[in-house]
Amino acid sequence: MTEAPSQSGVRLSRRGIEQLDLLLLTAEALDLNGGEAMLWTSHQLGLQDRFPNRVELWKRRCHNPLRRITRRDPLDPADAESLIALVCAMADRLYPMLHQLLSTREPEQLTQQRWELLRERLGDLIEERMNLRRSAVLHLLDPATNAPTHHRLVSTLALVAGPGGINRLRAFLLDPTP
Amino acid sequence: MLKTVHRYEQTAARLVVEGYPDLSDGQEGDTIGILSAWRLQLVGAPELEGTRDHLEAMMAAVMPYARHQLSGIGARFGTNQSFVGIEAVGGKHQLQLRSSREGVKPLQLLLDDADLADLVRCLDRLRLDEKVKLQWTYPEDRPLARKELVERIPLLRRLGPAALGGLLLSFSAAMALLLPLPPRPGTATSVDVNEPGSRIINETK
């Protein structure tokens, strides 16, 4: 099990917050009961003081500038660290599904159907929660161009799953915008 | 002294390390301070085994590679002379293992994303296992430099906006040169009006 964050936290850029929220959204798309699972996992990590309920968790995620309802103030570094730990713990829980999606040994037709289901669910969540006037959001919804983005999100979750992925994910989220 | 064995399993990968506690360092029980052997089983690939140097080389190549993969960079890690090298090849990950024995050809394994994730998870568990007291040498996970990230963007996409901007600027300049200049003050100009037969002479002094 991924442990609660020990670091004081990092100040994430706008791009970092976008990626973090998208990874959480992908985890939700993979898990039908994702919202509850996320809260339960955060409590397992000992983050109940930071995220006592779904509303508090949602408020932290609203720092994503692509959201329909967005908060302009910067994300607290301790909150960012908690969300990073949460992504890694969720990826750990969902790892068998991530593996199935990424494995080339799975039957091709079955893999395609799994990807299609993920695309559908992720698309629904994006339409429901993101600002559809933003070009980045429209790009995520465009079926002609979003497949590599979905693949990147799933493989990112697979590579940061578990406690060993926390430092990797933090470093990735702190990458400068090219 | 009894040999201690630790196993790290993940879907399609199994890493087994064997060793002994380093009594001179005060270690005891099932702690491994001296690594005697390790084996790695990946589904669809021959079993790999080696010494501590080989395992260290694998850790030093695979961990930074995984970090760079997150940022979309598939550069090679591990030199041609090192025991382990890994690089992105055609959407997969080619793991190259060089034997320390003379005359043995390097072994090349092609891993998909799921295999790579399994391998990374096994190595993560090993390096975080408190019962394995070994020092691993690999670069710390850090944000990448802007230069590294820019290089992954295709040249056309990187230079496209600048080229388009330059082209538009040149076009605007060319159009501006073709437009007639406004009359200079102090010159007589005639202005045609719509009424037939009428003509206005504008003289400025």
Assembly ipTM: 0.92
pTM score, two decimals?
Answer: 0.85
Per-residue pLDDT band for A1 (boundaries 50, 70, 90) equals low
Q: Which of B114, B142, B143 sits opposite A99 (nearest CB)?
A: B114
As a whole number of angstroms, the distance between CA B194 and CA B21 comes to 105
Which pLDDT score, from 0 to 100, does residue B184 have?
79
Range A154-158 average pLDDT: 97
Residue from B92, B113, B123, B130 to probe the interface with A (highest A Cβ count within 10 Å): B113
The reply to whether B54 and B133 lie within a common domain is: yes
Is A164 in contact with B120 (Cβ distance < 8 A)? yes
Task: Give the bridge partners for B37, in sequence order.
Answer: B18
The reply to whether B159 and B147 lie within a common domain is: no
Which residues does B111 contact at the CB level (< 8 Å), separation at least 6?
B42, B92, B93, B94, B95, B119
Per-residue pLDDT band for B23 (boundaries 50, 70, 90) equals confident
Q: Is A175 on the interface with B (CB under 8 A)?
A: yes
Higher pLDDT, B192 or B72: B72
The reply to whether B79 and B22 lie within a common domain is: yes
As a whole number of angstroms, the distance between CA A148 and CA A139 comes to 11
- Three-class SS state of B41: strand
Apex A107 CA angle, A102 and A108, nearest 5: 70
Contacts of A165 in chain B (CB under 8 A): 124
B157: tokens are 């996409």
Residue B163 amino acid letter: A
Is A171 in contact with B143 (Cβ distance < 8 A)? yes
Range A58-77 average pLDDT: 93
Q: Report yes or no: A44 and A89 within 8 Å, Cβ to Cβ.
A: yes
As a whole number of angstroms, the distance between CA B70 and CA A91 comes to 14
Q: Is B186 left (phi over 0), alpha (psi -120 to 50) or beta?
A: left
Q: Report yes or no: A93 and A159 within 8 Å, Cβ to Cβ.
A: no
The reply to whether B104 and B184 lie within a common domain is: no
Q: What CATH number does residue B77 fall under?
A: 2.30.31.10
Q: State yes or no: pLDDT of B191 exceeds 70.
A: no
Contacts of A139 in chain B (CB under 8 A): none
Is B117 in contact with A156 (Cβ distance < 8 A)? no
The reply to whether B168 and B96 lie within a common domain is: no
As a whole number of angstroms, the distance between CA B27 and CA B43 comes to 34
As a whole number of angstroms, the distance between CA A23 and CA A44 comes to 19
The reply to whether B39 and B71 lie within a common domain is: yes
Q: Which of B11, B66, B142 sits opposite A159 (nearest CB)?
A: B66
Q: Which of B112, B145, B152 sits opposite A102 (nearest CB)?
A: B112
- Nearest CA to B85 out of B108, B52, B103, B66 is that of B108
Q: Which tens digit of pLDDT belongs to each residue from B55-101? A: 999 999 999 999 999 999 988 998 878 899 999 998 999 999 998 88
Last residue of a domain, one of B151, B171, B190: B151
Residue from A102, A149, A153, A174 to probe the interface with B (highest B Cβ count within 10 Å): A102
The reply to whether B109 and B122 lie within a common domain is: yes
DSSP A91: H
Last residue of a domain, one of B129, B151, B173: B151
| C-alpha distance from B123 to closest chain A C-alpha (Å) | 9
Q: Which range is least confidently modeled, A40-49, A120-129, B183-192? A: B183-192
A51: tokens are 């995220």
| C-alpha distance from A57 to closest chain B C-alpha (Å) | 25
Burial of B178 (0-12, 13-18, 19+ CB in 10 A): exposed
The reply to whether B26 and B75 lie within a common domain is: yes
As a whole number of angstroms, the distance between CA B113 and CA A110 comes to 17
Q: Report yes or no: A135 and A129 within 8 Å, Cβ to Cβ.
A: no
Q: Which of B69, B125, B127 sits opposite A159 (nearest CB)?
A: B69
Is B121 in contact with A162 (Cβ distance < 8 A)? yes
Residue B171: which domain range?
Answer: 155-202
Which pLDDT score, from 0 to 100, does residue A130 have?
95
Q: Which tens digit of pLDDT belongs to each residue from A110-133? A: 999 999 999 999 999 999 999 999
Taking CA–CA distances from B43, the nearest residue in chain A reads A105
Domain count within chain B:
2
Q: Report yes or no: A126 and A143 within 8 Å, Cβ to Cβ.
A: no
Residue from B71, B141, B142 to probe the interface with A (highest A Cβ count within 10 Å): B141
The reply to whether B28 and B107 lie within a common domain is: yes
- Evaluate the CA torsion angle A125, A129, A133, A136 in order and state its sign: negative
The reply to whether B15 and B111 lie within a common domain is: yes
Place of tokens 């990626």: A19
The reply to whether B50 and B69 lie within a common domain is: yes
Is A176 in contact with B143 (Cβ distance < 8 A)? yes
Q: If you write DSSP's letter for every residue of B123-144 in order, what string do you get?
A: HHHHHH-TTB------PPP-PP
A40: tokens are 């339960």
As a whole number of angstroms, the distance between CA A13 and CA A74 comes to 9
Taking CA–CA distances from B152, the nearest residue in chain A reads A178
The reply to whether B13 and B58 lie within a common domain is: yes
Place of tokens 């406004």: B182
- Three-class SS state of A51: coil
Q: Report yes or no: A169 and A88 within 8 Å, Cβ to Cβ.
A: yes
Taking CA–CA distances from A164, the nearest residue in chain B reads B124
- Evaluate the CA torsion angle A39, A114, B111, A145 in order and state its sign: negative
Burial of A65 (0-12, 13-18, 19+ CB in 10 A): middle
Range B161-179 average pLDDT: 91
- Evaluate the CA torsion angle A83, B153, B142, A163 in order and state its sign: positive
DSSP B77: B
Range B35-58 average pLDDT: 92
Contacts of B145 in chain A (CB under 8 A): 176
